[in-house]
Amino acid sequence: MKRREGLSTPTKVSRLVLTIAVGKEKHRQAALGLGRSLRLIGDTTPRAVITDHPELDWSPAFDLVIPWDGEIKWVFFEKLSGLRLTNSQQILFLDADMLVFKRLDPIFEAAEGKGLGVQGRWVNTGDWYGDIAEHCARHHVAALPQFNGGMIYYERTPECAEFIETIWDYGRRCQELGFSRDDILVPDEPCIALAIAQTGKGQVFPDESNYQSSATGLIGRLRMDVRKNECRFLARTFEVKFVEPFIFHASRYINFRIYWRQLKWLEQLEQYETQHKFGYMPSWHRLQRSIERRWLKLTGKL
């Protein structure tokens, strides 16, 4: 593991934001955007990235770089590896293609003591890795928590560690359990959902909490600008609602320019920070100050 100079030793880190950037360069760029967005809003939670390219420069967006050489079909399950790879007590996994607009303390505080937590809604009809009603009947549960696995919280307790092992076991039996994808990747979401439904463990935060949103069912315009710390939109998910999420999950919007503009602006702001000293005032600002100061003197204000 690589640690950025200045970070306290992992044993002293009680909270951690964890993400994964494996494969294509676009995943690295997305992860850097996530880390930069957290720095920009002043979130002080240490950040770690699991990557198959640990030799690349991840600072100052990340404090900890964890090399990965695992089997690609299990990459989704690496979300749950934070207890094994770090000594952190509370871990918030965020997909690399996320941007954060509010500090994360309220999420950690709401989730603390609840084991593993996701944001979603209990459902017994519809389509999610197959027919939900058939899943419920097959596994003898009344409903399943449908959620977006881009954000998962878990913590260091014996009960939570045991629960995560149950989820891994479900992953190994994924086809037997009736969950499928169109590729070789083993899906984590239905395995987590079934484990929550069958054991009664874990926490499902209501979708209305708006901790994270992928703007599914967007109505009208997606208003997003990291320079203004703005992310808000109207969307039809389970119902029509106005959303101002803590975390925006690009998901399908990774194919839209608005998302890549945010990454570019975040990179430019980081470059500005390295190129200018504390309190730097550009020439146009100094000129404006001089003109306005003269006007204030003429009008007797100064």
> How confident is the model over 252-262, as pLDDT tens digits?
899 999 999 99
Backbone angles phi, psi at 151, to 5 degrees: -130, 120
The CA dihedral of 9, 11, 12, 16, to the nearest 10 degrees, is 90
Q: Which residue type does 114 have? A: K
| C-alpha–C-alpha distance, residues 23 and 279, integer Å | 39
Q: Which H or E run includes 229?
A: none
> How confident is the model over 52-111, as pLDDT tens digits?
999 999 999 999 999 999 999 999 999 999 999 999 999 999 999 999 999 999 999 999
Domains and CATH numbers, the chain: 2-275 (3.90.550.10)
Q: Please give the chain's pLDDT, 302 residues, in tens.
A: 554 433 334 434 599 999 999 999 999 999 999 999 999 999 999 999 999 999 999 999 999 999 999 999 999 999 999 999 999 999 999 999 999 999 999 999 999 999 999 999 999 999 999 999 999 999 999 999 999 999 999 999 999 999 999 999 999 999 999 998 888 999 999 999 999 999 999 999 999 999 999 999 999 999 999 999 999 999 998 889 999 999 999 998 999 999 999 999 999 999 999 999 999 999 999 999 999 999 999 999 89
Backbone angles phi, psi at 145, to 5 degrees: -80, 115
- Structural tokens at position 40: 């920009």
SS3 24: coil
| C-alpha–C-alpha distance, residues 102 and 100, integer Å | 6
Q: Are 243 and 233 in contact (CB under 8 A)?
A: yes
Query: What number of other Cβ atoms are within 10 A of residue 109's Cβ?
Result: 10
* DSSP annotation of 8: P
Q: Are 247 and 98 in contact (CB under 8 A)?
A: yes
**pTM (predicted TM-score):** 0.92
